[in-house]
Structure formats: C-alpha cells, structure tokens
Structure 1
Amino acid sequence: MVPSDYVRRLRAHVGHDWLLLPSAVALVERQSGELLLVRQADMADWSLPGGAIELGETPTQAVVREVAEETGLDIEEVELVTVVGGPRYQVVYASGDQVEYTSAIYRSRCRADQEPVPDGVELVELCWCPPERLAEYSMIPYVQNLLADLGLLADTTGCRQGAAGSCEDA
C-alpha cells in the first residue's frame, strides 16, 4: 500500500496505531465472467484492486481512479454492491501500520479490448480467475472475508498456483 499524503500526515501523529479509513474496492469482471485478482507488492497473497478514498473524492470516483492507476483499466458499468467494515476488514501491513477499512464494494466490467497491466509500484501481478476457482487462490483475510460475505467464496482452503497466475487443477 502506498499511503496518500493525508494518511502520511495522520501516521505522523498516531504511528502504526489503528486507523479507520474509507476505501473503495472493485470486483472487475471481463466478458467471460472471470474476476480480476491482484497481488500487491507488499503482500504475498492475492487481493482485489482498490484503495483509500481521497479527500474530496466520492467512493465511485475513487474506485475508478484506483483501478486505472493500479491496472491501466478503464472500468465501466460501475455498480455499488455493498459496504463492509468492522474487525473482519482489518489489515496489518508489513510496515506495522494497522488499518480497519470501511469499504464501498463495486462490481464493474472492463472493455473486451483491454488487458490489465500491474503498475509495478503497488501491484506486481494480475490474473483472471473464474468464480468457481476463487477458493483455489490464497488471499489476504480481508478479501477472503469479503468474497465469503458476498457468497462468492465458500471454501477457504488455499491455492496451488500454476504458471502465470493460473490455478492448477487439484
């Protein structure tokens, strides 16, 4: 996670202590129904594109901006699915920073002619996953909880990763 100037200013006062932050997360689907998963530079497990909502920005603007910054995708059909928060949405980063997110979750599509590319700063890897294979991916607990709460993830047994971010058959 690359913190915004706002979060850096807060961290100057609270150190690594818990912050409650608003964020926006995208469930980006392509025409085939596969879901975009991302691997952040500072985490080993898979996640979803998204990030903190900036001062003066709406949640919808934030999710569109975050997806574009992280993956180069211009998403469309952006629709609010739910808002989540509480202890199941806490993250402790490698830096020691502790965050509890209240997140607006959006479903969106990318155009058929677009392929995502990781920004190389926040994200180091991307892959498309069929919904029925989500349980095969090792995900950060925040994302596991989110997908389970949405009924998209019934089994959290972990993943055997194959080449280029695709899951191998079990």
Structure 2
Amino acid sequence: MTRKTLSVLPPEERAEAPQLQKKGRGWNIAESRLDTLHETAREMRRAPTEAQSLLGEALVAAELGKFRFRRQVVIGSAIVDFASQSLKIVVEIDEPDANAELDRRRDASLEHVGIKVLRFPAAEVLADVEAVTAKIVAEMKARYAEQRARPRGNGRGGYKGDRDRDSRR
C-alpha cells in the first residue's frame, strides 16, 4: 500500500494558483478535509500564541466600525490567523519556525481570488502592537475605498432594487 504525502514541488514544476471549483465551498477540497481543517482551526482558537492573543485584543479594542476580524479562519485549504471576509483582508503572524515556501504559495492562492494578505513577524507584533494595528487599519480603509469605487453588480451603480421599480413604470 502506498501512502500519500504532501510535498512542495520545485519552482519549475509548479502550476499557478488553483482555480475555484464547485467542490468544497469553491475550492477543490474534499468535505472530510474541510471538516479536519475546521476542527484544527477550532483547536488553534483555543490555544493562541502570545502574538495572536495580543493582536486579537488590539483589533477588538480598535474602532473598526462594522468590520470585524475573525480568528483562525479556514479559507480554502489554509487556516489564516485573522480574516475580515467582508473586506477580503487576511492578517498572518509569522512565527520563527514557519515554512516560508508554503506561506508564499498559500499567499499566491489567496491573492488569486482577491484576498489581500498582510504578514507581520511575531517579534514585531510583540514589540509594537499599536503600530501593527495602525497598519492593518490603514489597509482596511484602503480596501474599503477600493470597494466603494468599484461599480455595482447591476451595471448602473445604484441600488439593485431600482431595476425592479423601473421595469414596473
């Protein structure tokens, strides 16, 4: 019996970021794998690192309006430290023992689907959490401005209910 193992392909053999598919909530992931990821994320929320706890408290204390960050969120096959899904922003805290190559590939997959990834070393978060929080808030404001500047989905830029009202006249 052969056993499957995960490995990182050499750069010349790698394909681009995976395309979204109609399986596993938009990613090509089996439901059993998603269940495992969600259980792992739940365990990670119960035992955060010192940097994650500190940044989490700072993000709660920051006045973010209607936008919130959730901790240890499953996106695709990745578990991210913090995610604001409405703004499509992910905040990752780089621990010293992390695999930079895997992080780079995961970031490429997330950015391919329009998610902005912000990375901060754990030492920076522990040294000056207020500065890190200020950078995150600045990026949130920029993403919000981008979203507001984009045309609406109905092609007219107004409220999509206007279309129904106009057709009845």
Length-normalised TM-score, structure 2: 0.28
Between 1 and 2, higher relative CO (CA 8 Å, sep ≥ 6) is seen in 1
TM-score where L is the length of structure 1:
0.28
Larger strand fraction of residues: 1
- Bigger radius of gyration among the two: 2
